[in-house]
Amino acid sequence: MSGFFAIIARDLRLSLRHGADTLAALLFFVLTAALFPLAIGPQPELLARLGPGIIWVCALLAALLPLDRLFGADFEDGSLDLLLLSGQPAAMVALAKACAHWLATGLPLLVAAVPVALMLNVDPGVIPVLLAGLLPGTALLSLFGVIGASLVLGARRGGVLLPLLVLPLAAPVLIFGVAAADAAGSEQSTAAPLLFLAALFAAALPLCPLAAGSALRSAVE
């Protein structure tokens, strides 16, 4: 496991060194959410009803921004070959990359969701449920992202193909995440959509790294 954590630490150091990527994702998230009141109007009731959906869509799109660098930079400079030759299984390398992506992008988005929700007049009682859905939701986006990033590795115009691969996979996450926040807003039970998100995460945690690892091995051979 020391090699696994070493890959995560290495990617986090690179993220800090290239902090503009994380900052760009956060600014994209906040600015895109801020555009919705200008488009649909400043009515507090309307913003409170649409706020959770706006936050989920903006978080999904913001999480896509750093994905093209997830394996691309390592593939270009040869670091990916060294990682795969280090003795770590390719699936573990992919899982470490997903963890580093979530820590560098998903976690800051989760923190930024609170002020954005207040800006959109979301009921304070809904915010804990919104965050409870975003926690596994952003982790799922990172897991789906490693699949997409590994599949387009070395392909021409991979940055264009990547959202087309990840967005269909993320559709159920978006549906159940917004459903949980809507249920909290109408004072209904939020257990079912949150449990669906947890089940999706439990299924994706072993399967996504295995699929991404296979794609990585094919890309470097």
**pLDDT tens digit string along 166-189?**
888 899 999 999 999 999 888 888
- The model's pLDDT over 101-132, given as tens digits with 9 standing for 90+, comes to 899 888 999 999 999 999 998 888 899 999 99
At 197, the pLDDT band (50, 70, 90 cuts) reads very high
Domain range list for the chain: 2-220
* Whole-structure pTM value: 0.88
With contact defined as beta carbons under 8 Å apart, do 176 and 197 qualify?
A: yes
